[in-house]
Each structure stands twice: as structure tokens, then as C-alpha cells.
Amino acid sequence: MKLRIHKDSLRLRLNRSDVEQFQETGMCTESPRFGPDSKLIYTVGISSQSKVMQARYPQDCIRILLRIEVARRWAASDQISLSLNPRDDSDPALLIEKDFQCLHSDERGLSDDAEGFSNPLSGCSR
């Protein structure tokens, strides 16, 4: 799972393995380390009490919570993304996406996104 933070918005991209884990357990978590005693934890999970997608920040952990029905429908379908643009400035804008494979490989001809979903543009000529 990839996390992008820009101003007051959060964007999470889940690859195939992440989506499978999310479907099986109701949660996907990453925790990059910053030295021996520090790490950033970010998760996307389901909540039976959530009415809409929401972001929380308890105990140095970014938690994105989704309604169960919405999360299950998204994970099991071809739907690409879920988004929320809050009505006020108290919460960030949220975007959760299925991570596509890149159309371009790096200079060695390799791509690090084998777990990405098939890119719908891969069959298009430009």
C-alpha cells in the first residue's frame, strides 16, 4: 500500500495483495520505520459504525475507516476508487485507489509493480 500526503489530502493506493488482505481481514496496514524506535503506521479498514469514509489519527497512526458495505463492494468489483471531499476544513480529503501497473518501466526495463492491477490504458496506442 502506498500513501501520498499533499496539503489536506490523503491518497492510498492498494495493489492486488493489499486488496486481497483487505477482503480477508477487513484491514490493510503498512508501517515504515524511522530508526529503531519510531515508525509511521497507516491503515485502511472497515467500521460497522462509520456512516461515511473517515480519517482518524489516534496514537501516531493514520486510520482510514470505510463503511462495510462500501468497502466490500469496492474491493470485489472493477470500481477503481473511493473518495471523500469534506464539507469543512476539519478533515482531509480522502482518495483510496486500486494501484495500476505502470505503463513505463524504469531504465533497466524493469517495473516494481507486478502486484498492480492491469492498467486499462495498457492496450491503447498513443
pLDDT tens-digit map of 18-51: 999 999 999 999 999 999 999 999 999 999 888 8
Inside any domain, residue 6: yes
What pLDDT is attached to residue 109? 47
**Domain-located, residue 115:** no
Segments forming the whole domain that contains residue 78:
2-98
Q: What pLDDT digit, counting tens, does each position of 59-72 carry?
A: 889 999 999 999 99
Domain annotation covers residue 103: no
For the chain, how many structural domains are there in total?
Answer: 1
Asked whether residue 107 is domain-assigned, the answer is: no
pLDDT(9) > 90: yes
pTM, two decimal places: 0.78
CA–CA dist 48, 65 (Å, integer): 9
CATH number at residue 6: 3.30.1360
What pLDDT, in 10s, does the model give residues 80-119? 999 999 888 888 999 999 998 765 555 444 445 667 777 7
User: What pLDDT is recorded for position 105?
Assistant: 57
Residue 108 lies in a domain: no
| pLDDT for position 103 | 55
Domain-embedded: residue 125: no
Q: Is residue 112 part of a domain?
A: no
The closest of 4, 28, 33 to 15, measured between CA atoms, is 28
Q: Is the pLDDT of residue 125 over 80?
A: no
120 lies in a domain?
no
